[in-house]
Every structure is written in structure tokens, then in C-alpha cells.
Amino acid sequence: MEIRAHMVSAGQAEGEAVVYNGPFAFLGDLNPVTGLICMPRHKLEGESLVNKVFVFTTGKGSSGCDFAAWAAKKNGKAPAAIICLESEPVLSGAVIATEIPTVDCPEVNVLELIKTGDYVKVHATEGIIELAGR
């Protein structure tokens, strides 16, 4: 199944989905050394985003999110690709600068359609999300 979306950051990547119905900040939510969600009391606390396709609503938090994303990427602990409902400038700048393939504004609600654990391919440059199966 293919879903059309809007390119934020070019490239292509694939992996298992981690779906979170809420906003995300690279700085504070993600430990750039381990790639695990580190925010106390976060619904995904302790879960790994390493090489995952991370699906969430939008970005939030400090303008330091892009340097945190840069650190995670350099440590090999960043998500493989990102799908969000609507990006915002800090998140977009972070994924463009660190070259994490990212799309937003998918034509259907991916938070309902994609389940954690699904295998997803993100063709960001073409603006296509491919659901490869469970």
C-alpha cells in the first residue's frame, strides 16, 4: 500500500515503525547516546528509536533539537526515517541538516493506519510512504 505525503527532507529509508500519538523533541525526549526515549514518564520511556521509522504528530521543544539530532545521527542512534502529521521549522531544520529522510502531511491518518512494529519504507524524495506489511 502506498500513501502520498509531502517531502520535508530528501532521501529514502525503511524500518520497523514506532508510532506515537503526540509531539516529539530530539532534545529531551531522546538520549542521543543510546537512542532510547529518556523523558521521565514519557509513554515510550525506554523504547529505542534506532533505525526505526518514527511516526508522530509534530515537533516541539527547544531550538537545540537540531544539535541533538546531529549527535544522535553521528552516534548511529537516530531514527532511519520520520513521518509526522505536520512538521514545524525546528523539526524540519533538524532532519534537513542531519539528512534524515522525512515526510509530513500524509493523505491519510498514519497514526491510525500504521501500527508499531509494521515494516515501513519512506521514499521521502518522491513523497511516498510504502507499507510493506506486518
Partner 1 sequence: MFLTNEEKRMLDGKFGQGIHRSMDLLVKLGESFDAERLVPVTYAHVSYDFCPKDFWDMFTEDVPRTPHRVTTHPSYSPEKWKEWGLSLAGNWEKEHEEKLRRYLDLGWLRTETCAEYLLGIFPRKGDIVPMAGSCMQVANNSLFGARVDRMGILVSLAAAVCGRTPMMGLVIPENRYAGHLVELEDLDVSDWTMAHYHCLGYYIGSQVPGFKPVAVKGLPPNLPFDFARALVISMPTSGAVTLAHIVGTTPEAPTLEAALGNNKPQQVIRVGKREMKETWERLNVWEDDTVEHVTFGCPHATIDEIGRIAALLEGKTLKTTMLIGASAPVETLARQQGWADVIEKAGGHFLPACPSIANPFTRADIAGDKQAKSAATNSARSAHYIASVCGVSVFFGTEEECVNAAITGKWKGEMPKWK
- Position 62 contacts partner 1 (CB under 8 A): yes
Is residue 41 close enough to count as binding partner 1 by CB under 8 A? yes
Tell me the window of 12-20, 35-43, 46-54, 112-120 that interacts with partner 1 (CB under 8 A).
35-43
Q: Taking a C-beta distance cutoff of 8 angstroms, is the pair 28, 55 a contact?
A: no
State yes or no: residue 7 binds partner 1 (CB under 8 A).
yes
The CA-atom distances, in angstroms, between 87 and each of 12, 20, 32, 114, 117 are 18, 15, 21, 18, 23
Please give the Cα distance from 110 to 79 (Å, whole number): 17
Closer residue to partner 1 in complex, CB, 60/121: 60
Sites for partner 1 among residues 68-107 (CB under 8 A): 70-71, 74, 86-90, 92-94, 96-97
Closest residue by Cα to residue 45 from 60, 29, 61: 29
Give the pairing type, strands 2-4 and 81-84. unpaired
| Residue 40 near partner 1 by CB under 8 A | yes
Instruction: State which of residues 16, 21, 46, 63 lies at the interface with partner 1 (CB under 8 A).
Output: 63
CB of 94: closest distance to partner 1 in angstroms?
Answer: 6
CA distance 45 to 37: 5
Q: Which of the residues are catalytic?
A: 62
